Amino acid sequence: MDPDRVVIFDTTLRDGEQSPGISLNTAEKLEIAHQLARLGVDVIEAGFPIASNGDFEAVRAIAREVHGPVIAGLARAHAADIERAAEAVRDAERPRIHTFISTSDIHIEHQLQSTREDVKGSARAAVAHAKSFVDDVEFSPMDATRAEVEFTAEVLQIALDEGATTINIPDTVGYSTPDEYAAFLTRLYQLVPDLRGAVLSTHCHDDLGLAVANSLAGIRAGARQVECAINGIGERAGNASLEEIVMLLHTRAADLGFTTGVQTREIARTSRMVSRLTGYPVQPNKAVVGRNAFAHESGIHQDGVLKHRQTYEIMDATTVGLEGNDLVLGKHSGRHALKSALAELGFDVDGPALNTAFKRFKELADRKKQVTAMDLEALVTDELRDQLRSYTLEWFDVDVSNRRPPHARVSIRTPDGDEALGDFTGDGPVDAIFRAINAATKREARLREFRIDAVTGGQDALGEASVVLELAGQSAAGQGVSTDIIEAAAQAYVRALSNAERKVHAAAAEHEPEVELTGAP
Ligand code: KIV
Ligand code: ZN
């Protein structure tokens, strides 16, 4: 392989999914994984199979159905975790087990309540056990950047002796600076010459806003795998953002000299899909994929760009897929046109799914003159969410006036197929409908976040609502899309409620992660 080719290891579905409030079901994870494969990432870390049955099922489905990238499952340095990960990735074309244990004293003493000797023993046993299932084994010394480099080196030598093929150096708490991170990697190469026979990897968190800078410093120090997530999602402040690191290597290729296998034109769509399905918005000024990333506000800048784009643009919006897609359908477009438009967008929709998509498309085309690629994406992703929904919104009425408080009535279909009615007089129309849904379902859900955005510009734009709520200690997100923003909000609320309820049931059935997963990343 080209020595300057950087392996892109995407952890959106594992570290990214650990962001508070994100709860993706298997269908949603599969959709993202297919898109990641289209994007051309080299490795998909599909989840943490021991964490829950849902995680296991999703990793297994991705391993079976997504072709191209290596499919990795995460495991602590415990036999049971490794066996579960091995089973989940078994059917992948190229399976990988990623196992980890902390090497920093603060983690060893306080979290693992163990000793350095035990950590060495666990690392040895874990890599050997993983190796008995797959050839491709990645090992991470968690919290490495706050650990003693000599001790970390000893543990890495053990992992390499047992056959680890990738060694990943996590800046777990996002504490490092680029110089320190590069120096840490350089020192490891000196202390562990065998590292040259493995792929060295970066895994940088963004607590101080340095995740991408640290990843680049790692590459320059010899790393050839970068762990990153779409839109930079992940624990706390998140991970290095995939789109930023990829576009950094692409835009500055002449000076840096590194390449990746990413199809950059798929970046914007992947970002939108992840944002939609996770309910995590992309800030407008976010590098590469923010809606203002290529917008010029000041007169001087606009003047410059009109005369010559490169006066104020270092990247071309078409390179990341933000422009250049002129696919437009209207109300006279038929089923065949819709199917081929969806295929062009990478959605393989047929049979009953095509019928549903066509019905939604027609409803939209009646209200909106031009249906764009972004509208279609929003509709298809919206439909995906129906597959595991336990409650459905049947109908609603909202009376709004500025002379009396708004009143909402809703009809909800319960998971058992019954119709439940509820009504409420709230502070505003959205508040009234949310509380009417609580009344119908007899659930005491509390709203934590609510957002509404337009999918495209224009008066007839589709509205996209996003809700995060909390139910019995579990928080969950939901989204809804409609030209009617009250309907979009109600859909989002019902979906968030369904997701939260599934989490409550799963936690009760499995005595889930919070309790059992000590030492989790
Ligand atoms: O941040 C971290 O240390 C992790 C490891 C599991 C790689 O996510
Ligand atoms: Zn992490």
Nearest protein CA to atom 4 of ligand 1, as residue = 521
Q: State which of 12, 175, 203 you would mutate to test the pocket of ligand 1, scoring each by most atoms of that ligand within 8 A of its C-beta.
A: 203
Coil, strand or helix: which one is 248?
helix
Q: Which residues contact 423 (CB under 8 A, 6 or more apart)?
A: 407, 408, 409, 410, 436, 439
Mean of pLDDT values over 51-78: 97
CA of 203 to the centre of ligand 2 (A): 7
CA of 204 to the centre of ligand 2 (A): 7
Query: Is the pTM here over 0.75, yes or no?
Result: yes
Task: Give the model's pLDDT for residue 399.
Answer: 95
Q: Which residues contact 455 (CB under 8 A, 6 or more apart)?
A: 374, 375, 378, 461, 462, 463, 464, 481
The binding-site residues of ligand 1, defined as CB within 6 angstroms of any ligand atom, are: 15, 100, 140, 142, 168, 170, 172, 203, 205, 521
In this prediction, residue 320 has a pLDDT band, given cuts at 50, 70 and 90, of: very high
Q: Are 254 and 216 in contact (CB under 8 A)?
A: no
Q: State how far the Cα of 170 lies from the Cα of 225, in Å rounded to an integer.
A: 12
Q: State how far the Cα of 365 lies from the Cα of 348, in Å rounded to an integer.
A: 21
pLDDT in tens, 366-377: 888 788 888 888
Which atom of ligand 1 is least distant from the CA of 140? 7
Indicate whether 513 pLDDT > 60.
Answer: no
Nearest protein CA to atom 8 of ligand 1, as residue = 521
Which atom of ligand 1 is least distant from the CA of 144? 3
In this prediction, residue 519 has a pLDDT band, given cuts at 50, 70 and 90, of: low
In this prediction, residue 202 has a pLDDT band, given cuts at 50, 70 and 90, of: very high
Coil, strand or helix: which one is 227?
strand
Task: Give the model's pLDDT for residue 344.
Answer: 79
CA of 118 to the centre of ligand 1 (A): 19
Longest Cα separation, the chain: 77
Task: Give the model's pLDDT for residue 378.
Answer: 84
CA of 174 to the centre of ligand 2 (A): 9
Q: Which ligand is nearest to the CA of 140?
A: 1
Nearest Cα to Cα of residue 372 among 381, 361, 363: 361
Please give the residue that has the higher pLDDT: either 408 or 291: 408
Task: Give the model's pLDDT for residue 505.
Answer: 82
Q: Are 496 and 504 in contact (CB under 8 A)?
A: no
Task: Give the model's pLDDT for residue 105.
Answer: 98
Q: State how far the Cα of 137 lies from the Cα of 305, in Å rounded to an integer.
A: 48
CA of 248 to the centre of ligand 1 (A): 23
Q: Which ligand is nearest to the CA of 102?
A: 1
Q: Are 18 and 237 in contact (CB under 8 A)?
A: no
Q: Are 433 and 486 in contact (CB under 8 A)?
A: yes
Task: Give the model's pLDDT for residue 512.
Answer: 47
Nearest protein CA to atom 2 of ligand 1, as residue = 172
In this prediction, residue 79 has a pLDDT band, given cuts at 50, 70 and 90, of: very high
Indicate whether 225 pLDDT > 80.
Answer: yes
CA of 236 to the centre of ligand 1 (A): 12
Indicate whether 325 pLDDT > 70.
Answer: no
Mean pLDDT over the full length of the chain? 91
Mean of pLDDT values over 473-498: 90
Please give the residue that has the higher pLDDT: either 507 or 471: 471
Mean of pLDDT values over 110-118: 97
Q: State how far the Cα of 441 lies from the Cα of 390, in Å rounded to an integer.
A: 11
Mean of pLDDT values over 52-59: 94
Task: Give the model's pLDDT for residue 389.
Answer: 54
Tokens of 190: 């000196």
Indicate whether 459 pLDDT > 90.
Answer: no
Coil, strand or helix: which one is 411?
strand
pLDDT in tens, 137-163: 999 999 999 999 999 999 999 999 999
Q: Which ligand is nearest to the CA of 521?
A: 1
Q: Which ligand is nearest to the CA of 239?
A: 2
| Number of C-beta neighbours around residue 295 at 10 A | 13
CA of 496 to the centre of ligand 1 (A): 28
Q: State how far the Cα of 214 lies from the Cα of 336, in Å rounded to an integer.
A: 48
Nearest Cα to Cα of residue 380 among 328, 336, 415, 343: 343
Provide the percentage of residues in the chain whose pLDDT is more than 70. 96
Worst-scoring range by mean pLDDT, 387-391, 442-446, 466-470? 387-391
Please give the residue that has the higher pLDDT: either 330 or 104: 104
Task: Give the model's pLDDT for residue 514.
Answer: 42
Please give the residue that has the higher pLDDT: either 245 or 310: 245
Task: Give the model's pLDDT for residue 511.
Answer: 58
Worst-scoring range by mean pLDDT, 40-49, 73-82, 313-322? 313-322
Indicate whether 463 pLDDT > 80.
Answer: yes
Q: State which of 81, 142, 233, 235 you would mutate to test the pocket of ligand 1, scoring each by most atoms of that ligand within 8 A of its C-beta.
A: 142
Which atom of ligand 1 is least distant from the CA of 173? 1
Q: Which ligand is nearest to the CA of 99?
A: 1
Indicate whether 290 pLDDT > 70.
Answer: yes
Q: Are 484 and 296 in contact (CB under 8 A)?
A: no
Indicate whether 515 pLDDT > 50.
Answer: no
Element (H, E) at 156: helix 149-161
Nearest protein CA to atom 3 of ligand 1, as residue = 172
Worst-scoring range by mean pLDDT, 114-118, 190-194, 500-504? 500-504
Which amino acid makes up residue 408? A
Worst-scoring range by mean pLDDT, 45-49, 61-65, 122-126, 411-415? 411-415
CA of 11 to the centre of ligand 1 (A): 10
Worst-scoring range by mean pLDDT, 116-125, 194-203, 360-369, 383-392? 383-392
pLDDT in tens, 390-429: 899 999 999 999 999 999 999 999 988 899 999 999 999 9
CA of 47 to the centre of ligand 2 (A): 12
Q: State how far the Cα of 133 lies from the Cα of 72, in Å rounded to an integer.
A: 13
Nearest Cα to Cα of residue 460 among 373, 369, 379: 369
